[in-house]
Structure 1
């Protein structure tokens, strides 16, 4: 079983899900190892994502743990194998690992829902808008660091343009539409790009306008990535210290409810586009 030098978020998640199955079966790692005839350290390393694990091994573990959910087991088996180098790996020496994990998560997501208050959704940003926002980062980024991050952000958008694009729903607060990062020309181009992207059949842009009573989120950008089964969904919170990845059942339920409420209070697609058009004319 090959060692994994740097476990990705996906490998860590697979290990964590296998640990959950073992614990639900009421087995210690020592007992599980004895049933499988392997060293206890191997179970611990698999659950920590330190070793690649085969689909057959996952199915053997699931049978040992008496997991009755065939769809869940199939989804876990689909997460196996040694780490495949995605395009994001070329940035491993230049960007925080959390950003690489985000690109990997987006690559494998079956659908995405996002909500933003101040910034545009990352996958719907123009390079100029992204560059302008990154100039505001504290502590300041060096010019070459900004360009690395702009390049990375643009490449993440590939999931929206593939042969089978990922369905993407974005709730954008009116405040984000009026922030004006980069000046009038950059802001106008960003809004026009948002309108252009909103015409794609798999992309939905909804505006939460000023004057809407109530706001069910704390204000930080939220991404909800749908997995092959509900147990493998992931929430990403974009914070000042980096990305927080959440996958506990209670957390997933909470953010599904938050996004449901935000989408219900946002303007419909047509009215959202009309508001964006009006703001473009005001610039």
Structure 2
């Protein structure tokens, strides 16, 4: 199999997890290669996501590494199965790789959990609100770039709108609800949309009120994508230079704690709806 010039986030994650298992077992890449009849370069390419690997070889390597977690091994083997091009591939020459990786993560995720302070979650934004957000990007986006970003975001939203949607939890600070992107009319429509989405059984929206005081995590947006097993969870952070994906065990633990702390500060679901409604009425 030839090496991929643009390995997907999913293939890279599979390779990284296989590397973790190998290193924990104290086995060299050369030793691992003998198990599958290859050489050190093949193992290195698999672990870097440049080469694909079959489910059978994932199980063979995991057995050789003496991994006792059968659920993890099954989840890793399942990551080799779907090789169809995702809808996000049509944007590969248009948008950043980070955005494509995010859409791929959501597509294969099992649940989504996010927190926001000064903005609203992208999956809960109306088109008019999202368009105004994209107009504030620095450096400025051209009109066609804005529309590409908008269409991409709308397609991403399908994970919470489709027939079998992902469970979605959002913690939003009250400050974000007062940000009038596009003016009072657009803001009012956005808040009405939030209320409508909060009525869906699989969507939970909680608001942290101003009176809650201190806010952990310095107010940085956090997006936590749950995998089929906890070891395959991913945290996405927005940085000035682009999207950052984190998957180290300590990082996952930290952001699970941050989200848990934020939920403890937030109002209940019903009270959160009341607050959103009151803010909308006062626009």
Q: TM-score range by the shorter chain?
A: over 0.9
Q: Could you tell me how far apart the structure 2 residues matched to 1:196 and 1:239 are?
A: 30
Alignment check: 8 A CA contact 1:52 1:82 kept: no
**Residue 82 of structure 1, CA deviation:** 6.7
**TM-score normalised per structure 2:** 0.98
Q: Could you tell me how far apart the structure 2 residues matched to 1:186 and 1:239 are?
A: 27
**Residue 2 of structure 1, CA deviation:** 4.2
**Residue 38 of structure 1, CA deviation:** 1.2
Q: Could you tell me how far apart the structure 2 residues matched to 1:35 and 1:11 are?
A: 20
- Number of the residue aligned with 1:53: 53
| Structure 1 gap segments, 5+ residues each | none
**TM-score normalised per structure 1:** 0.98
**Residue 162 of structure 1, CA deviation:** 2.0
- Over aligned residue pairs, what C-alpha RMSD do you find? 1.0
- Number of the residue aligned with 1:266: 266
Is residue 169 of structure 1 aligned with residue 169 of structure 2? yes
Q: Could you list the per-position Cα deviations for residues 191-241 of structure 1 after superposition, in whole angstroms to 9, with x for gaps in the alignment?
A: 000000000000001001101122112222111111101100000002222
- Number of the residue aligned with 2:124: 124
Q: Could you tell me how far apart the structure 2 residues matched to 1:78 and 1:131 are?
A: 37
| Structure 2 gap segments, 5+ residues each | none
Q: Could you list the per-position Cα deviations for residues 225-264 of structure 1 after superposition, in whole angstroms to 9, with x for gaps in the alignment?
A: 1110110000000222211100000000000000000011
- Number of the residue aligned with 1:236: 236
Alignment check: 8 A CA contact 1:53 1:81 kept: no
Q: Could you list the per-position Cα deviations for residues 3-45 of structure 1 after superposition, in whole angstroms to 9, with x for gaps in the alignment?
A: 3231011110000000000001101111212343311111000
Alignment check: 8 A CA contact 1:220 1:239 kept: no
Q: Could you tell me how far apart the structure 1 residues matched to 2:182 and 2:20 are?
A: 46
- Number of the residue aligned with 1:62: 62
SS of equivalent to 1:119: coil
Is residue 33 of structure 1 aligned with residue 33 of structure 2? yes
Q: Could you tell me how far apart the structure 2 residues matched to 1:149 and 1:130 are?
A: 9
Alignment check: 8 A CA contact 1:53 1:82 kept: no
Alignment check: 8 A CA contact 2:177 2:276 kept: yes
Q: Could you tell me how far apart the structure 2 residues matched to 1:53 and 1:79 are?
A: 10
- Number of the residue aligned with 1:189: 189
Q: Could you tell me how far apart the structure 2 residues matched to 1:51 and 1:261 are?
A: 40
Q: Could you tell me how far apart the structure 2 residues matched to 1:162 and 1:76 are?
A: 25
Alignment check: 8 A CA contact 2:131 2:146 kept: yes
